[in-house]
Chain A
Amino acid sequence: MTISGTFAIAGAYEHPTRWAPDKTEMQIIGESARGALQDAGLGIEDVDGLFSTSMAGGGMGIVNVAEYLDLKPSYMDGTNIGGSSFVAHVSHAGAAIAGGLCEVALIVYGSTSASDARAIGTGMGMGRDPHTAFTSPYGQTVVSSYAMSARRHMHEYGTRPEQLAEIAVAMRHHASLNPHAKMRKPIGVEDVLGSRLIADPLHLLDCCIISDGGGALVVTSLERARDLQRPPVRVLGSGEAVWHQEIGSPKLLEIAARESGERALGMAGLHHGDIDLCTIYDSFTITVLLTLENLGFCKPGEGGDFVSGGRIALGGALPVNPDGGGLSSNHPGMRGIFLVIEAVQQLRGECGERQVEGARTAVVHGTGGILSAAHSGATLVLAAE
């Protein structure tokens, strides 16, 4: 048995806020749930599966979300594997639906990271416990961890800072076409290279922004989705993987996407050439480059050339993150849900100026955690009907 093609995304909504000092996280969750259910043409009373997690909510967070929405779902899943969590929630929902454990799943996220002034990239990672005792003395930050992957890539393959910068430039171009994006002023490679170094070789503009925001998805069986008001976006493939540095010394440049991507494309029975666009977690420019290589869109070491010359921009060979991604549109800390929302809206052909023409298939990949250490990967293959 496979869940491939048995379920679909029937509703999607990205909260337009990027700065919400006047809202709570629960309020953003509630408004996002309302948006996605309205999009699907369903009501909160139809929801019997709930999927949510957050950086702030703790282990019981999903119970608090259920309480806020006055929901008593028959199935709930608070899986937290980092920023990729909401990508994984989609396939978890599909499995639960196929198994008869729920029928209409609501996946929801909300965060006020920016207005709470959470310094995600350069102000965390200071645990005082036996596990983090091996890393916290040394001043590891999220940015510096990804920077070490970038340095190693440059060492092994001769990748250049200006090639990484091309990724930031493409994302900003996309954001300039997205009225909700936080950073919309176009930039060039020289702007990225001229911005200050945060952790060599990553500059300020190689790093994602921090914003507030939220979003929601409605997932149901393909059969039910066909009766609803929006064109269903089918989930043809999914895969998850985890990767870490422990015990041996795994290759730093092989990341979880290598396994999760192979699983997802294998389940979908599709090849790279069949894919019209990608949405990829762009915490940093290097994340996009390593993800494209590990998903197999190019060979290891070829990522620098692959992302250059506008090839991942709209109109290029493989458009990535037409919304502007976390580098320019929004990044409240766990961006996975926006990857799915943008892919859904692209496959429904409703993205206006930033629409990838004729998009029928998309690969979505979320990375959670620390790329050069313990991290997760979750991949989806989505298709228009």
Chain B
Amino acid sequence: MSSEIEYKDPVVDWETRAYWEACARHELTVQRCGACGKVQHRPRAICASCLSGEVETLVASGRGTVHTFTIVRQNQVPPFASACPYVLAYVDLEEGPRLLTNIVDCEPDSVAVGMPVQVEFVDTGEFAVPRFRPA
């Protein structure tokens, strides 16, 4: 019988702290450039399209669709070894960016490309880790 993945507090730095602090409030955020309007993830101090420093944090809807996924059946690293099988996926957010995540709260075999999903958060102590479940 598999167990759930145990998430740990992420290691943060100056550029990523605001993202993880928002996660702790159960808000998923992306960045938008005040100069050129591009939306980006992962967070960084500059806009990677125009190198402007005017990047704003924007709270995402938390809704997205599964772009692709796999059911991981072998991972030798604890804590994942005992969590197999679990679903690893790329989710396309409504705001545009794509992020790597887990899909939970459903049978792995029921996950499909294009499936609508909704973010949820697992508290890890100081912060929280976002993952997705069927919408």
| Chain A residues within CB distance 8 Å of chain B | 119, 122-126, 128-130, 133-135, 137-141, 143-144, 147-149, 151-152, 155, 196-202, 245-249, 252, 372-373
Contact = CB atoms under 8 A, between A and B. Distances in A.
A128 B11 contact: yes
Interface in B65-88: 67-77, 80, 83, 86, 88
Given A133-B10, A133-B11, A139-B75, A247 B100 contact: no
B5 interface: yes
Contacts of B113: 151-152, 155
A139 B73 contact: no
Interface string B79-105: 010010010111010001111111000
B68 A197 contact: no
B56 to A, nearest CB: 15
8 contacts: A123-B76, A126-B77, A138-B131, A139-B80, A144-B88, A199-B71, A199-B73, A247-B49
B40 interface: yes
Given A137-B129, A152-B67, A249-B67, 18 more contacts: A119-B76, A123-B75, A130-B12, A133-B20, A134-B42, A139-B102, A141-B74, A148-B68, A148-B90, A199-B73, A200-B70, A200-B73, A202-B70, A245-B90, A249-B98, A252-B67, A372-B68, A372-B90
A249 B80 contact: no
Contacts of A246: 40-42, 48
Contacts of A249: 67, 92, 96-98
Nearest to A121: B74
Given A199-B70, A252-B68, A247 B38 contact: yes
A155 B90 CA distance: 14
A133 B75 contact: no
A245 B86 CA distance: 22
Given A126-B77, A138-B88, A139-B5, A144 B16 contact: no
Contacts of B83: 139
A198 B8 CA distance: 25
Nearest to B12: A130
Contacts of A373: 100
For the complex of A and B, list the 9 residue pairs with the smallest distance between their C-beta atoms, beginning with the closest. A133-B10, A147-B70, A152-B68, A130-B13, A123-B76, A139-B80, A155-B113, A249-B98, A200-B71
B126 interface: no
B74 A122 contact: yes
Nearest to A204: B74
Contacts of A128: 11
A124 B16 CA distance: 23
A148 B73 contact: no
A129 B11 contact: yes
A155 B68 contact: yes
B88 A140 contact: yes
Nearest to A253: B68
B88 to A, nearest CB: 5
A135 B75 CA distance: 15
A139 B99 contact: no
A202 B70 CA distance: 9
Given A128-B11, A151-B113, A122 B68 contact: no
Contact of A148 (B8, B41, B88, B96): B88
B73 A196 contact: yes
A115 to B, nearest CB: 17
A143 B74 contact: yes
A198 B74 contact: yes
A73 B103 CA distance: 52
Given A152-B113, A199-B72, A247-B40, A130 B88 contact: no
A151 B76 CA distance: 22
A227 B16 CA distance: 57
A199 B68 contact: no
Contacts of B49: 247
Contacts of A139: 5, 72, 75, 77, 80, 83, 86, 88, 102
Nearest to B10: A133
A193 B20 CA distance: 41
A133 B16 contact: yes
Given A137-B7, A247-B38, A252 B90 contact: yes
A151 B41 CA distance: 23
Contacts of B68: 148-149, 151-152, 155, 252, 372
Contacts of A148: 68-70, 88-90
Contacts of A247: 38, 40-41, 48-49, 97
